[in-house]
Amino acid sequence: MLVMALCLPASAGLRQKQANRDTNQFRYEIECAGNAIQGTYLVKVWSYSKKASVAENQCRKNAVHGVIFKGYGGGQGCVSQRPLANNPGVETQFGEYFDSFFADGGEFQKYASIMEGTTETIKVGREYKVGCVVSVRKDDLRKALEAAGVIRGLNSGF
Amino acid sequence: MKKSLFTIVLACVALVASAQIKKPELMVIPSDAWCIQNGYYTEVANMGTITKVPNYKQALQENMGLKLAIAKLNDLMAERQFPLKSLEQEIKNLEQRRMEDNLTTSKAGNDLAESPLDEVARTAKCDIILELTWDVKDFGPKHSLSYILEGRDAYTSKSIGAASGTGAPSFTADVDVLLEEAIVANMDNFNNRLLDHFTEMQTIGREISLDIKVFANNAAGIDLETEFGDDELIDVINNWLQLNTVQGRFSMPYASENIANFTQVRIPVYDERGRAIDANGFAKGLAKMLKKEPYNIPSKVLVKGLGRAVIILGEK
């Protein structure tokens, strides 16, 4: 019993670490989920994990990561959006900043919220693919990245 | 001691302030196509041809959708610390200034001096024009809005970027709601292109156009083919541009003995003393060089905004 009690949190931690690694390797899909209110993007994110609950938790992190580094395509009335970070090298250049930003419980949480009742779970082989619709507060996120010097503001240089 | 310290601080502040690149002014105008399609135009006879000229004042007074679109765009741009110049306010200011000028007389009863060129220059001006077009299409009971926002450099006429798209068909009959949705959804893409343009400008210089003209029968007795040593005057100007543009970037699509047009002239955003310069400052540099020995050519530099300058050689 004692061994089991010690092992359970450790294995949950390992799954979370794996999910974080998946995020870093862009192992998620992001698509437009409709027109959002001003200052936000509404995106659907598909995350992968051996445990459905871990994948669901990862959705917010992946949504923010996707808005910063990937952008998403349009279609069916949706407008495609470029990533906030235009320079592909920015993730490495500001590695320390993003490590802390995307750490579990990190600042990324402030900018994303899962829309209730939108979670879909599909079993794919030995893992789960979990889709959630996430509202990302992109204007606030962009301001935070501009303030940190990660991206350039429209007004910078003038 | 305190006084000198204050002077040093003030000088530093002034230096930092002058080191800022001159910020372009942006203004939204409805496109010609939209104005004509919606009946906001006046017909002008031009050399026997009837031309439709957009009537912005009428459009702004009668179309609430246009006012809403401009207000929304201004709101979104102000949020990015780039407030727009208001077309409506510019038109009002022009009318006010014109009225004031007409009523201004000296004690001796003299009117204000104004050349025909000054009169032409008194039009609504900005550095980047944002041209707005939208159209609503009906699909049975549903409506869909097509939207185009195109940014254009007012001096070089080059397109800076555009954001366009057609929204998903909706049962919403309110065009204003569809328009607002389209603006909000497309603005980030447009601003990304604007940012690319600004980054390019800060990296390889501001793009301007420069026209060199010659006063007919001028007192200096020169034209662009006048020789100075082995070089004609146009070669002297070309050599100066080669040295003073960023990486020698410019092109000369047309030159004769009286006129030379230079386009795609990339000027540095700061001069050698770290002060921000625009087309006017750049042109004045060339005019100063031509005024000196051995050329001794007086000239008139006409101010056309941040991105266009005209130098007329031969007289002041």
Q: Indicate the pairing of strand A112-114 with strand A127-136.
A: antiparallel
On whether the B23-100+116-202 domain is CATH 3.40.50, my answer is yes
Neighbours of B183 (CB within 10 A): 24
Q: Do B79 and A78 touch (CB under 8 A)?
A: no
Q: Do A80 and B189 touch (CB under 8 A)?
A: yes
Residues of B in contact with A153 (CB under 8 A): 80-81
Peptide bond into B83 cis (omega under 30): no
A138 touches chain B (CB under 8 A): yes
User: Which of B20, B25, B74, B81 is the best mutation test for A, with the most CBs of A within 10 A?
Assistant: B81
Distance from CA of A9 to the nearest CA of B (A): 43
Distance from CA of A96 to the nearest CA of B (A): 26
B238 touches chain A (CB under 8 A): no
Rounded to two decimals, the pTM is 0.79
User: What number is the ipTM of this complex?
Assistant: 0.81
Mean pLDDT across chain B = 85
Distance from CA of B231 to the nearest CA of A (A): 40
Q: What angle do CA B130, B136, B138 make, to 5 degrees?
A: 165
Q: Tell whether the model's pLDDT for residue B19 goes beyond 60.
A: no
User: Which of A67, A68, A79 is the best mutation test for B, with the most CBs of B within 10 A?
Assistant: A79
| Residue ranges per structural domain of chain B | 23-100+116-202, 206-313
Residues in chain A: 158
Nearest-CA residue of chain B relative to A143? B80
Residues of B in contact with A79 (CB under 8 A): 165, 185-186, 189
pLDDT tens-place string over residues A112-138: 999 999 999 999 998 899 999 999 999
Residue written as token pair 């941040």: B306
Q: Tell whether the model's pLDDT for residue B13 goes beyond 50.
A: no
Higher pLDDT, B5 or A82: A82
Given this model, what pLDDT does residue A117 score?
92
